[in-house]
Amino acid sequence: MTDLLKLTRPDDLHLHLRDGAMLKAVLPSSAAHFARALIMPNLVPPVVTAAQASSYRDRILSALPDDQPFEPLMTLYLTEDTDPNDLSAAFQSGLIRAVKLYPAGATTNSASGVSNFERVRPVLERMADIGCPLCVHGEVTDDAVDIFDREAVFIDRVLDPLRRATPELRVVMEHITTAQGVDYVRANASGLAATITTHHLFLNRNHILVGGIKPHYYCLPVAKREEHRLALRKAATSGDDRFFLGTDSAPHLDHHKESACGCAGCFTALNTMPLLAHVFEEEAALDKLEAFTSLNGAKFYKLPVNQDTLTLEKSQTPVRFAKTVASEEGDVTVFDPRVSIYWQVQNHVL
């Protein structure tokens, strides 16, 4: 028997598309399944002004296949020199939907991020005034803090004081990885939400390290203990509208991932929807999948719900997904959960 699951077409509210040859290679994987995606601005150099965001959007649209409708939702990269007036004009015109906060040195291409949070307070206050959301990479970069504790410490040391100082600011905790992150969202009634990635629903830190290092499972924030993975699963499948999908799909060339100092990121854009169907079925929550992928994020970002649909089909035999996506500069490995997946997007067999 074949099972069908028809959903409002989903949104990916945290996506890395890169630029140039990589953009052309990976964009079709997202555009095939997602109506919209919130595009991360950590290029080199980063997207810090309205003019740069407009130019990047044009490059994305130029790379988009003609038969794939897709709307890139642009963001700006917050720096200690961000112009509040430029940001405000970009948001009020609809050019950008949010601003991304990277603590300096926290992840890929974050060197231009924020070190002194007091220096960005005027920008955050302007964002609160105009209703522009702040998307937060929530990790401290203090060398004295263990990498597995950096999210929890960030909540106490940075995020909670920031929100108390600017209570009207709307905040998205990006790619949460801990039970503490889940609990913090649940403890706050309004103005706060969180994205959860596909790969963090599958991975704990044992998957990265036991039996040899798995470079294609290495990401930032790094996967944590099993108790945290289970907390993320419970949150994602709960139906709580403060949690929604942001894949953080982050493509890197294989020779950069599989190197002496491998890049952080999992490329999940191509098979996210089948993998999520697997997770939600395991949690007896397939009826909650549409909310997580298609409704909750649109509500938070004040976007209309997509009008078209996507259908997932369950087969009797495991689905074989493409192992890599080819770019002009080399291959990008597709995230492999190393479990049998029986779901696929209908009419999109890989």
* Tens digit of each residue's pLDDT (9 = 90 or more) over 136-145: 999 999 999 9
- Residue 205 vs residue 105, higher pLDDT: 205
61: its two tokens = 């649209």
pLDDT for the residue 72: 98
Whole-model pTM above 0.85? yes
* Tens digit of each residue's pLDDT (9 = 90 or more) over 276-303: 999 999 999 999 999 999 999 999 999 9
Report the b/e string of 155-173 with b at 16+ CB within 10 A: beebbeebbeebeebbbbb
Catalytic positions, written as ranges: 248
Mean pLDDT, residues 15-24 taken together: 98
Mean pLDDT, residues 105-134 taken together: 87
- For the ranges 159-163, 219-223, 260-264, 346-350, the lowest mean pLDDT is seen at 346-350
Q: How far apart are CA 37 and CA 219, in angstroms?
A: 20
Sign of the alpha-carbon dihedral angle for 198, 202, 206, 208: negative
- Residue 293 vs residue 347, higher pLDDT: 293
Q: What is the pLDDT confidence band of residue 204, given thresholds at 50, 70 and 90?
A: very high
All structural domains of the chain, each given as residue ranges with its CATH number in brackets, are 3-345 (3.20.20.140)
Q: What is the pLDDT confidence band of residue 347, given thresholds at 50, 70 and 90?
A: confident
* Tens digit of each residue's pLDDT (9 = 90 or more) over 42-62: 999 999 999 999 999 999 999
The single residue listed with the structure tokens 């490059």 is 59
> What is the DSSP-derived secondary structure letter of residue 249?
B
List phi, psi (to 5°) of 308: -90, 175
pLDDT for the residue 2: 55
